[in-house]
Amino acid sequence: MKLTVVGFWGGFPQANGASSGYLLQDNGFSLLIDCGSAVLSKVQQYVHVMDLDAVILSHYHHDHIADIGPLQYARMIHTMLGKKQKELPIYGHMADQENFERLTRLPYTKGYAYNPEESLKLGPFTISFLKTKHPVVCYAMRITNGEKTICYTADSSFLPEFIDFAKDSDLLICECNLYSGQNGENAGHMTCDEAGFIAKEARVKKLLLTHLPHFGEHQELVEKAQAIYDGPVELAKEGWTF
């Protein structure tokens, strides 16, 4: 199982960057997790847009879904140009009907609702969900192929439930939109200390800090998380792979 960071910025992408997007591949199956601003441009460095097998969305904030429309156009245009049409399933939650309906643009893409109470099988992956603490309904994902397990917090302020949810995972992709001493309670985001605390308590094998802020020195996020969690901590970077 191979994970590639397509984009990692919180809110909006900096020049030539992209906001949230992660490509997870195994056994010839390509799953795109979140599809933020500029993710469509960046993801084509790793996979042809017609070779994506599924997309799954944590929530409907712009920095996680901005490129769904262009992705639908890309599938349409490649189909018109003679690429074999294959309907792309886009999984999202149903708590926001209006945004959910936008996932369907037949015959190119079709929205499927995931039931967060149940695990979802997508190709080689089994995905389970945890509702996060965020201004809109959002789900964290725990994804396994039976050998390796990746946990993605999506957007959230600190939740003690993350510790069980991320337990013993090989990689924790933790949002880290804030620095030590800030309070993410209202914004629905976490600090580097909270990321480090979850990684430590859940005994994950590796921590990747993502959904990075547009201020401060990112290296400081790593240092503070490392002061709490003694495993490897890395900053999300475009093209970073696991």
Given the rule CB under 5 A, which residues bind Zn ion? 61, 63, 155
Minimum Å gap between C-beta 39 and Zn ion is: 12
The nearer residue to Zn ion, 26 or 63, going by C-beta atoms, is 63
The nearer residue to Zn ion, 1 or 236, going by C-beta atoms, is 236
For 147, counting Cβ atoms within 10 Å of its Cβ (0-12 exposed, 13-18 middle, 19+ buried), the class is exposed
Nearest to 132 by CA among 170, 161, 163, 96: 161
The nearer residue to Zn ion, 149 or 157, going by C-beta atoms, is 157
Q: How many angstroms separate the CA atoms of 200 and 133, rounded?
A: 20
Minimum Å gap between C-beta 124 and Zn ion is: 27
Minimum Å gap between C-beta 80 and Zn ion is: 33
Q: How many angstroms separate the CA atoms of 31 and 55, rounded?
A: 6
Minimum Å gap between C-beta 87 and Zn ion is: 27
The nearer residue to Zn ion, 1 or 198, going by C-beta atoms, is 198
Reported as type and span, the H/E element at residue 65 is: helix 62-65
Q: How many angstroms separate the CA atoms of 141 and 131, rounded?
A: 9
